[in-house]
Structure 1
Amino acid sequence: MGIELELHSARPARNDWAMSRATFLQGSYEYGEELAAVLATLKADGPDKLSWVDPYGDTQFNEQEAEVALGEIAGLLQRCTTEGQRAAVTDLAAMLKSCATTPGSCLWFVGD
């Protein structure tokens, strides 16, 4: 199980791969397993934005949600038990920041 990240300029078309490529800005595919492992430490029904991420489905954050989730990164880093998890969370932080600073964008968490 892994979670890949994609930043899109607008909400991507979920059921049409070709259409979703039209909005694609950047992706992160290197740390999927590690990201899923550290996000799994969050309470699934917790109040934090990152607890909303579905490891088996897809989750999308708009720029405002990404901004809020950025504030959760320090706490998530404290939950990391490996260097790979820390690298995954650092990568997630960079993608969240890109989303938060790109008007109209969407960060897509692509679950396994």
Structure 2
Amino acid sequence: MGIELELHSVRPARSNWNMSRTSLLRGSYEHGEALAEVLATLKVNGPGKLWAVDPYGNTQFNEQESQAALGEIAGLLTQCSDAAQTAAVTDLAALLKACATTPGSYLWFIGD
């Protein structure tokens, strides 16, 4: 199980893979397993947004949701048990920040 990340300039089309490729700004594909592991430490229905990321499906955050999720990064870093998880959360933070500062963008969490 892993979670890949993609930053899109507009809401990606879930049903049309080719269409969603045209809006892709940046992707993160190397930390999937570690990101899924650390996100699994979050309490379901807990505070924040990141607990709602579906590890088996797709979840999208708009710029406002990404801005809100940025506030969870410091706490999530304390949940990291190794360097791979820390790298995954650091990469997530960079993409959340990019989404929060790019008008109309979406961060797509692509689960297995």
Calculate the TM-score normalised by the size of structure 1: 0.98
Distance in 2 (alpha carbons) for counterparts of 1:93 and 1:85:
12
Distance in 2 (alpha carbons) for counterparts of 1:89 and 1:22:
26
Distance in 2 (alpha carbons) for counterparts of 1:19 and 1:44:
32
The alignment partner of 1:25 has SS state of: strand
The alignment partner of 1:85 has SS state of: helix
Root-mean-square deviation over aligned CA pairs = 0.5
The alignment partner of 2:107 has SS state of: strand
Identify the residue that residue 68 of structure 1 maps to in structure 2: 68
Give the paired residue count. Answer: 112
Identify the residue that residue 80 of structure 2 maps to in structure 1: 80
Runs of 4+ in 1 over 2 A off after TM superposition: none
Identify the residue that residue 10 of structure 1 maps to in structure 2: 10
Please show how residues 1-112 of structure 1 align to structure 2 within 5 Å. Answer: 1-112=1-112
TM-superposed deviation, 1:47: 2.4
In structure 2, list runs of 5 or more residues that go unmatched: none
Query: Sequence identity of aligned pairs in percent?
Result: 72
